[in-house]
Structure 1
Amino acid sequence: MKSLIFFLVSPLVLGLIAFKLKPEIFLGSSALDVQGGWSFVGIFLGYVGCVLSAYAAFEVRRLSDRYFAKQRLPQLRKQAGQITDKMDELKEMKLVEVRAHGFLGEVRVLVKQLEKTRSPGFPEVVKRTKRYCTEVEKRVKNCSDENLAVNDVGEFWDLYTSLTEVSDEIHAYEQEVKASL
């Protein structure tokens, strides 16, 4: 709202200052007549219309993103919980055996869906989750020790923590939305 007021008032103030200092900028060599006055009014109202239209488009986009997030986030939170449950079951397995379970693909899909929601507060957590997923994938692909347990892999637990954080962020966002209504 502050930016809207700024964009509406600042050109008017600058125009008035310029008019006071050098009226010939606006008027040329002739005096201000009715036609010139209405031209100024028209220019100002046109500018106000453009600013208000831009603000309305921005607000529509924000409301659309918020509605999309409200519809998708509960399902994504459930999906994140299912992935962490699956990861919890895998903790006793060997790292080599983890490939067959395909939870890393599910994590990538979840990350892409979260990126589409464009909700505030999620980009940092989503980037971190994406990075940890890549690290776990590299670790699984390059695993040379067949006896290495998943429990001993730090990247796996970083990914687990980050997915739990995603779920918590979604829950906090849902609570904020409920409180703002």
Structure 2
Amino acid sequence: MKQQQHKIQLRQELLKKRRSLPQDIWREKSDRLCEKLQTLSLFIEAKTVLAYFSFRQEPDLSPLFTANRRWGFSRCVEKSLVWHRWRPGDPLQSGIYGIDEPFPDAPSLHPSQVDLILVPAVACDYQGYRLGYGGGFYDRLLASPQWSKIPTVGVIFDFAHLPQLPVEPWDKRLQAVCTETSTFLY
């Protein structure tokens, strides 16, 4: 119970700090993070990448969304993430949490088609564990056998890269973490 309270408090503090970033600083940090990500071999070698649309001042990955690779984005369906192919210019809708997502009739993506998952996070630690938003969507995804073998990269700003996070038995370690100044492999 004490660990849960710590996670809730830490999540609130970090989200508040992220939301307080001035727009120009957020844009600069996001652009620098995209540049760093493009130097990571996991990203360079990936043909199909699962990503996210920035929400509540998450690092914005949209400069990466070009036609030179296939992109997948999720829709929240009940307690799961369902992944769909998306191309720049394809229409989007606002999902249940207010996050942009593909329409349900967009082509589905099967785990066998995916080379890399860019994972949004509130924070990541030096061991490669992440603090999510509390809904468990990515925890369930990364724990499922068909998705668990796909490389993952946590995407955060430097201030959210912490020495240690509270870790639960179901938490899965990421293969890498990328910030606006560094990439870390685990």
Smaller-chain TM-score bracket = under 0.3
Select the structure that is richer in strand. Answer: 2
- Give me the TM-score of the superposition, normalised by structure 1: 0.22
| Larger CA Rg, structure 1 vs 2 | 1
